[in-house]
Amino acid sequence: MKRIFSAGLAATLAVITAASAVTPSDAAAARRRAPLTGVYDGLWSVSIVTVVGDCDRGYRYPLRIVGGHVVKADDDSAYAVAGAVGRGGAIGVTVSGGGQTATGRGRLWRNQGRGIWRTSNGRCSGNWTAERRAEAAR
């Protein structure tokens, strides 16, 4: 349970919305209908640090931004991510997994970002940083 929830915390990067699972085909559909493209789209590496609470201390996980929507960059079905980034870089996310929920908010710039997160029950909280990653040619 702790591992599943901790994996979910690693995705704390985007605008707070209802959590739902996103599959690779959903990501492709988001690319086709994306109203916001460009500046923040791509693969991001997110580092999560727990400052308060007994959640695991830290993680690094990938996320993808597609047309301003935050989606998982892996196929791990143990957690779901829903979120978005605004034109000015304001970002937030809702992550759920193992019966737990966490939300995060912050800001992205062209190649980096940072913010805060907390569990819905207030048990744990901390901060996150993000770095854009280069992607291999498709």
What local confidence, expressed as pLDDT, does residue 34 receive?
A: 44
What local confidence, expressed as pLDDT, does residue 105 receive?
A: 97
pTM above 0.75, yes or no: no
Residue among 78, 77, 128 nearest 100 (CA): 78
Residue partners of 27: CB distance under 8 A and separation at least 6: 64, 66, 71
Residue ranges of the domains in the chain? 2-133
Question: What is the tens place of the pLDDT at every residue in 73-86?
Answer: 988 888 888 899 99
Q: DSSP of 38-102, one letter per residue?
A: STT-EEEEEEEEEEESSS-SEEEEEEEEETTEEEESS--TT-EEEEEE-TT-EEEEEEEETTEEE
Burial of 63 (0-12, 13-18, 19+ CB in 10 A): buried
Evaluate if residue 103 carries a pLDDT over 50: yes
Reported CATH class of domain 2-133: mainly beta
- How does residue 10 score in pLDDT terms, banded at 50, 70 and 90? very low
Evaluate if residue 4 carries a pLDDT over 50: no
